[in-house]
Structure 1
Amino acid sequence: MSAEQRVAVLREPEHMTVETRPVPTPGPGDVQVAVRAVSVCGSDVHYYDHGRIGGFVMHGPLVLGHETSGVVSAVGEGVETPAVGTRVAVEPQRNCGRCDQCVQGRYHLCPWISFFATPPVDGSFAQYVTVPAGRAHPVPDALSDDAAAMIEPLAVAVHAAGKADIGPGTRVFVSGGGPVGLLCLQVARARGAARVTLSDPVARRREVALRFGADAVVDPGAGDTEIEPADVVLECTGVQAAVDLAIAATAPAATVVLVGTGAQVTLPLDVVQGRELVVKGTFRYAHVYPAAIAMAASGAVRLDEMVTSHHDLDGAVDALLAARRDPDAIKAVVRPG
Structure 2
Amino acid sequence: MSETSVALPRTMRASVLRGIRDVAVEERPVPGPGPDEVLVEVTAVGVCGSDVHYYEHGRIGEFVVRSPLVLGHEAGGRIVAAGSDVPAERIGQRVSVEPGVPCRRCECCRSGRYNLCPEVRFFATPPVDGAFCEYVAVPADFAHPVPDALSDDAAALLEPLSVAVWAGRKAGVGVGSHVLVAGAGPVGLLVTQVARALGAAEVVVSDVDAGRRGLAAELGASAVLDPAAGDPVEQGVEVDAFIDCSGAPAAVRAGFRAVRRAGAVVLVGMGADELPVPVSLVQNRELEVTGTFRYANTWPAAIVLAGSGAVRLDRLVTGHVDLEHAEDALAPDPRQRHVKLVVQPRAAA
**Offset of 1:227 from its aligned partner?**
3.4
- Partner SS state of residue 9, structure 1: strand
Separation of aligned partners in 2, 1:64 and 1:82: 30
Amino acid at match of 1:101: C
When residues 14 and 242 of structure 1 are mapped into structure 2, their CA distance, relative to the original with a 3 A threshold, is same
Is 1:258 matched up with 2:258? no
Residue 299 (structure 1) aligned to one of 280, 293, 309: 309
- Between the aligned residues of both structures, percent identity stands at 56
Q: How does 1:179-190 map to 2 (within 5 A)?
A: 179-190=186-197
Q: Letter of the aligned partner of 1:167 in structure 2?
A: G
- Name the residue aligned to 2:4: none
Match of 1:105 in 2: 112
2:327 aligned residue (311, 317, 320): 317
**1:92 equivalenced with 2:99 (yes/no):** yes
| TM-score, length-scaled by structure 1 | 0.97
Shift of 1:322: 3.0
Local SS of the residue matching 2:187: helix
* Aligned equivalent of 1:286, options 296, 310, 320: 296
State the 1:325 CA deviation: 4.1
Q: After superposition, give the CA deviation of every residue in 1:171-220 in whole Å (9 maximum; x if it has no partner).
A: 00001110000000000001110000001111111111111111111111
CA apart distance, 1:324: 3.3
Deviations 1:28-56 (A, max 9, x none): 21111000000111111111110111111
Query: Which stretches in structure 2 are left out of the alignment for 5+ residues?
Result: 1-7
Q: Give TM-score scaled by structure 2 length.
A: 0.94
| Distance (Å, rounded) in 2 between the aligned partners of 1:227 and 1:62 | 47
The amino acid across from 2:157 in the alignment is M
Amino acid at match of 2:340: K
Q: CA deviation at 1:80?
A: 1.6
The whole-number CA distance in structure 1 between the counterparts of 2:121 and 2:189 is: 27
Q: For residue 37 of structure 1, give the secondary structure of its aligned residue in structure 2.
A: strand
Please give the alpha-carbon distance, in whole angstroms, between the structure 1 residues aligned to 2:178 and 2:74: 29
Farther off after superposition, 254-263 or 23-32: 254-263
Looking at structure 2, the residues matched to 2 and 141 of structure 1 have their Cα atoms a distance apart, in angstroms, of: 26
Q: Tell me the amino acid that sits aligned with residue 334 of structure 1.
A: V
Give, in angstroms, the shift of residue 221 of structure 1: 2.3
- Structure 1 residue runs of 5 or longer lacking an equivalent are none
Partner secondary structure for residue 35 of structure 2: coil
Instruction: Name the counterpart of 1:239.
Output: 248
Pairing 1:71–2:81 present: no
* Structure-2 change in CA distance of 1:214 and 1:129 (3 Å): same
Aligned residue number for residue 200 of structure 1: 207
SS at match of 1:186: helix
Distance 1:248 1:82, change over 3 A: farther
* Aligned residue in 1 for 2:56: 49
Report how many aligned residue pairs link the two structures.
Answer: 336
Tell me: CA distance 1:130–1:25, structure 2 relative to 1, closer, same or farther (3 Å).
same
